[in-house]
């Protein structure tokens, strides 16, 4: 059966893929927030199957993929990217035409409490995956070899922090990671780069800003605020709440990755962002205001639950992405504004309360206890 690609842009890679009857891709970390959005979107747009390789850590959740349970195009394999032998067996068995690498430890606060896991998965795991991919790719020939891609999904946090008037990060901004998380991602980016320059492996790297959307684990700011607000709990703002992030709707991140996979230049880096810089306090106010409309409290506003707590150590003040390269070279730009994306997101959380309850498992509760109990409530509620 020929696989049909419904993307409109036609490239050699797409034509190659359509002609190759049994093509498939391997995704790592596809049971997490962005990975599961990517896999669902991919299978909604393509018939090309996905092997989804995920360790199922606290952040990986098969219920994120429940809609694909009966879908033969989705092959889930539980495994650890540190296990080179396991990945090598999978590559030999399924012969994917590309690897899209999402698997990582992803939460900055957790990296401050327990950096070891971040080094193990993000650095050693990416290395193991690269080694398995290199051996596999080296054994390919012809179109299979030239068409192969390794796409590494990374973060804007590798570039460090910006002052209020600094220009946004470009692909040539020097790396200056400040947290164990961003340092581990920076290390993985460097390894990916080295595999291109040393071995000629066909790699691509994307560095993206903060994502938000459905299936976002409620340890991160936006889903945490929505679930705490509805539970009548404090809405914790680290420090003064004036740290700035660029926010990108997860569906837009997935479309950027598809586009880079399809047409990105080998060995190149593409910054992906939403042109949506906002201070955390403004994000939290927006969430409270939407909830006040969609799910009002008996009296008062959700804003009354805002509580200032002790800041994150080494907290980066500002991230901002210059996403002009991906627009100029590949014609990608985000489809959602923050106003449209955040409303959809709040509505999704209101419609999927069972999912939130399920992920708030024993491990989640232990994490909340550890992260927030140690923080002094910095000031009175404002
Ligand atoms: P997540 O924490 O929600 O999911 C990570 C997934 O990786 C989980 O399913 C987990 O089970 C899996 N995993 C962890 N360790 C593994 C291992 N050793 N072997 C196999 N699987 C393992 O993360 P996310 O927010 O979906 O982020 C995905 C990727 O995107 C990460 O590489 C992250 O650095 C990057 N990124 C995230 C954001 C963001 O805002 N969330 C922004 C830019 C880049
Ligand atoms: P987060 O969602 O953890 O993403 P990242 O640290 O990767 O940017 O946090 C987003 C911002 O929100 C960050 O500046 C830290 C802040 N924050 C809070 O103020 N309170 C919280 O409880 C959390 C989890 C984050």
The pLDDT tens digits of the residues spanning 359-377 come to: 988 777 787 888 888 776 5
pLDDT on residue 56 = 95
**Residues labelled as active-site residues:** 156-157, 181
Q: What secondary structure, in 3-state letters, does 215-282 show?
A: CCCCCCHHHHHHHHHHCCCCEEEECCCCCEEEEEEHHHHHHHHHHHHHHCCCCCEEEECCCCEEEHHH
pTM equals: 0.94
Structural tokens at position 312? 């994150």
Q: Is 110 helix (H, G, I), strand (E, B) or coil?
A: helix
> E strands within the chain?
25-28, 50-54, 74-78, 98-101, 149-155, 203-208, 210-212, 235-238, 244-249, 269-272, 277-279, 306-309
pLDDT on residue 20 = 59
Q: Which ligand 1 atom sits closest to the C-alpha of 57? A: 11
pLDDT on residue 245 = 98
- Rounded mean pLDDT of the chain? 93
Give the model's confidence band at 324: pLDDT under 50 very low, under 70 low, under 90 confident, else very high: very high
CA-to-CA distance for 149 and 23, rounded, in angstroms?
13
Q: Which ligand 1 atom sits closest to the C-alpha of 58? A: 11
| CA–centroid distance, residue 315 to ligand 2 (Å) | 9
Give the model's confidence band at 12: pLDDT under 50 very low, under 70 low, under 90 confident, else very high: very low
Ligand 2 pocket: which of 112, 245, 368 to mutate (most atoms <8 Å of CB)?
A: 245
Q: Minimum-distance ligand to the CA of 80? A: 1
| CA–centroid distance, residue 78 to ligand 1 (Å) | 15
Percent of the chain with pLDDT over 90: 88
Q: Which ligand 2 atom sits closest to the C-alpha of 155? A: 7
Residues in contact with ligand 2 (CB, 6 Å cut-off): 108, 210, 220-221, 224, 236-238, 243, 245, 280, 312
- Which tens digits make up the pLDDT trace of 237-260? 999 999 999 999 999 999 999 999
CA-to-CA distance for 337 and 319, rounded, in angstroms?
18
CA-to-CA distance for 218 and 239, rounded, in angstroms?
20
DSSP assigned state of 168: P
| CA–centroid distance, residue 102 to ligand 1 (Å) | 5
CA-to-CA distance for 129 and 88, rounded, in angstroms?
9
For atom 29 of ligand 1, the residue with the nearest CA is 102
Task: Judge contact between 57 and 79, C-beta under 8 A.
Answer: no
Mean pLDDT of 319-329: 98
């Amino acid at each position: 059966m020929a696989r049909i690609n419904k993307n409109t842009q036609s490239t050699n890679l797409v034509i190659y893929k359509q002609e190759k009857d049994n093509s498939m891709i391997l995704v790592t970390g596809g049971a997490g927030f962005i990975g599961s959005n990517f896999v669902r979107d991919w299978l909604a747009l393509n018939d090309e199957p996905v092997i989804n390789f995920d360790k199922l850590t606290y952040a990986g959740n098969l219920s994120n993929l429940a809609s694909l349970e009966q879908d033969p195009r989705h092959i889930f394999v539980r495994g650890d990217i540190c296990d080179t032998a396991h990945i090598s067996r999978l590559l030999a068995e399924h012969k994917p035409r590309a690897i899209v690498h999402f698997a990582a430890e992803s939460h900055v606060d957790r990296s401050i409490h327990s950096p070891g896991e971040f080094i193990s998965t993000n650095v050693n795991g990416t290395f193991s995956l690269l080694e398995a991919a290199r051996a596999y790719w080296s054994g390919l020939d012809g179109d299979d070899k030239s068409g192969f891609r390794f796409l590494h999904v990374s973060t804007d946090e590798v570039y460090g922090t910006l002052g209020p008037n600094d220009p946004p990060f470009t692909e040539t901004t020097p790396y200056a990671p400040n947290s164990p998380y961003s340092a581990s991602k920076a290390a993985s980016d460097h390894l990916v780069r080295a595999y291109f320059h040393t071995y000629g492996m066909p790699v691509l790297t994307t560095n993206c800003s903060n994502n938000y959307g459905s299936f976002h684990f409620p340890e991160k700011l936006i889903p945490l605020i929505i679930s705490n607000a509805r539970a009548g709990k404090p809405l914790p703002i680290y420090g003064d709440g004036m740290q700035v992030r660029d926010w990108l709707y997860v569906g837009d991140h997935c479309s950027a990755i598809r586009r880079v996979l399809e047409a990105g230049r080998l060995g190149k880096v593409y910054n992906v962002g939403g042109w949506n810089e906002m201070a955390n306090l403004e994000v939290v106010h927006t969430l409270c205001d939407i909830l006040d409309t969609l799910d009002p409290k008996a009296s008062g506003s959700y804003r009354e639950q805002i509580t200032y707590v002790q800041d994150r150590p080494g907290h980066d003040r500002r991230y901002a992405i210059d996403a002009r390269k991906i627009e100029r070279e590949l014609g990608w730009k985000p489809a959602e504004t923050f106003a449209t994306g955040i409303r959809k997101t709040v509505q999704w959380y209101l419609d999927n309360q069972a999912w939130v309850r399920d992920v708030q498992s024993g491990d989640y509760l232990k994490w909340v206890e550890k992260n927030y109990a140690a923080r002094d409530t910095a000031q009175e509620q404002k």
